[in-house]
Structure 1
């Protein structure tokens, strides 16, 4: 392997590992801020480092430190301690592995070698996601069984029935989508969505398969055990379900696994139905061919974006009453300088690139950065939908949940496959 090959491997693997881990903090913060907004309350604003709360982002860090140093207890009645310890790690690792094949930018060609922008460059595509994601339920089952607790066992059984049930309409929604894209490779699916229908409508999966999108989104929420499908850990019914007996970092791994699964579910929804890393009407070829114009446009948009964000931040970083030496005002002043410096650095880099001429390699790198930012923004917005649903809808009863799957989603998924097949064959 050449030096470039090693560098590309390191960059792809680092992105596939550290971005989901970073989004644990972001999604926990978004969960709390979203819940407080929906419930008309303040939310986290006390945990700080040197007076800096970062809008509540320090709170998840404080929680992580607390869980790391919290005493780890293993109940004495547990007979299978190895399985008890392996279960949370299995849930977390499986959730992390499912992101490995999701493309976060289009392929880059350096010399005669083309590099796929995903953690594991494989052609297995969506089959990897379906196959690996199903292993997460084993961690839940093992946790419930090894805990030797009736509430934990009930949570494990509930999770098993739920995952097995909802995987069927999820897979059927994917089958209908494969009939449209004609490939199981996620990169091919995203590139297909970069095209235009009739010359002006983006060929996104949500437009080609609106029913499939609704089916996939509902089942993805159920697979992630998120409210209203959180019967496996229903606090009002079975204490905390399969992780009732867990504490410290073992509990944290379950907690982190849920948010990584939420991130991965959002990422796969973006990849299959929301254009992936594409901007509407600006596919990879368009961005690379007009890289100079794109860079010049960013010279204007970057300061404008940071300016609007700074104004919003300063407006919302002060108390509603007179408060001498308000620490939030001091924090806003410091962050204003930081964001202005960041905007200046970005613009200087763009100016240097334009002055020397972007060239083919520069156009590819600029396009990759833009696509990564777009991909992450889309994942963030889909993640907010998860939060919105959690703090809006109540938990389903077990019988209602199963009825939704077998009597509603499954028939709709089968009809969707039939209609899709008829349309695709008639257009060939």
Structure 2
């Protein structure tokens, strides 16, 4: 194996680890700030390291450190201590591994050798996601059952009933997508979403299969056990549900697993229905053929974005009374952002002057596509948070009715319509 292939594999693994696990403190902060904005309050903004508050991000890291150093207490009434210990690990690992099959960019060709841009290159594609997404519920069931608590047991029973109801509809929705794309490989599915309808509308999955997209997104929300599908941990009835008896880092693993599941679901939704790493109206060949224009556009847009970002920071970080720490933070961050922007612009200008070569163009294309994927990924993650703080929790009967009486019949109908269309078009 060549050095370039090893570097690419390590880079893919690092990206997957950061997106699936490393962003948890950021997502916690983001959720707090968005919920605070929706409820017309400030949210976390006091915890700091010197002058640095970073808009409240330091609070999330402080909470993470608290969980790490907190005493890991096991109640005396726990009968199945092995299951009690391993349950959060199962949830965490399954949620993390669902991210392994997500393609971050098109196949990267270096010195004539193709490199798949996935953390764990495999031929299972969407089947990999379904397998590990379904397995994660076993950790929830074990955690609730082994805790010896009625609240935990009821939470695990709810989780098992929910996953049975919504995995069926999700699988049926995926069948419609597979009939449309003709492949289970996620890179092939993303590449099939290039091009446009009538020269305007991107050929994304949400326009090809709008009903399947709606069904899959609803089921993905249910798979992550987040509101409005968080009956397994409904605090108004079950205290905290399946993780009532957990504390310290074992409780933390459940929380990290939840955000990992949210990240993986956001990534798979973007991959299946929103073009993945593809830029609208620009496929991989178009980017490679117009690389100089793409670089020039980045050089022009980058300082504009930094200007509005620093302006927003100055507006929202004014001094409070005699405390000037926020202004110090703003000045330091403004300097850092502009220094980074100028450095990136200088590098890009040197690329325009000197040229990139074949390998350089391919690497630059992969970097641009990874950036495109990240933008879509964060937008979908925002939708997850937005829905959580907007929609009320479903009652148990409402949840089951939606799964069995609405989503599954619609998914079956969509399969029939899709199959008829594929057969007619094929003939």
TM-score (norm 2): 0.98
1:389-428 matches, within 5 Å, as 389-428=387-426
Q: Which residue of 1 aligns with 2:283?
A: 283
1:234-245 matches, within 5 Å, as 234-245=234-245
Counterpart Cα distance in 2 of 1:134 and 1:116: 25
Alpha-carbon contact 2:172-2:411 (below 8 Å) kept: yes
Alpha-carbon contact 1:100-1:120 (below 8 Å) kept: yes
Tell me the alpha carbon deviations over residues 113-172 of structure 1, each in whole angstroms, 9 at most, x when there is no partner: 100000111111000001111110110111011101111011011000001110011111
Counterpart Cα distance in 2 of 1:291 and 1:359: 11
Counterpart Cα distance in 1 of 2:398 and 2:245: 28
Alpha-carbon contact 2:25-2:64 (below 8 Å) kept: no
Q: Secondary structure at the match of 2:158?
A: helix
Q: Which runs of 5+ in 1 are unaligned?
A: none
Counterpart Cα distance in 1 of 2:314 and 2:363: 33
1:97-116 matches, within 5 Å, as 97-116=97-116
Structure 1 residue 259 displacement after superposition:
0.4
1:80-159 matches, within 5 Å, as 80-159=80-159
Tell me the alpha carbon deviations over residues 184-204 of structure 1, each in whole angstroms, 9 at most, x when there is no partner: 000000001122234332110
Q: Secondary structure at the match of 1:72?
A: coil
Alpha-carbon contact 2:173-2:212 (below 8 Å) kept: yes
Q: Which residue of 1 aligns with 2:228?
A: 228
Q: Which residue of 2 aligns with 1:19?
A: 19
Counterpart Cα distance in 2 of 1:329 and 1:209: 49
Q: Which residue of 1 aligns with 2:361?
A: 363
Structure 1 residue 50 displacement after superposition:
0.6
Q: Which residue of 1 aligns with 2:351?
A: 353
Q: Which residue of 1 aligns with 2:162?
A: 162
Q: Which runs of 5+ in 2 are unaligned?
A: none
Alpha-carbon contact 1:292-1:358 (below 8 Å) kept: no
Q: Secondary structure at the match of 1:134?
A: helix
Which aligned segments of 4 or more residues in structure 1 are displaced greater than 6 angstroms?
A: none
Tell me the alpha carbon deviations over residues 8-61 of structure 1, each in whole angstroms, 9 at most, x when there is no partner: 222222222222222212211111011001111111101111121101111110
Counterpart Cα distance in 2 of 1:241 and 1:142: 12
TM-score (norm 1): 0.97
Alpha-carbon contact 1:266-1:379 (below 8 Å) kept: yes
Structure 1 residue 427 displacement after superposition:
2.1
Counterpart Cα distance in 2 of 1:309 and 1:18: 23
CA RMSD of aligned residues (A): 1.2
Q: Secondary structure at the match of 1:344?
A: helix
Which residue of the other structure, out of 371, 374, 378, is the alignment partner of 2:372? Answer: 374
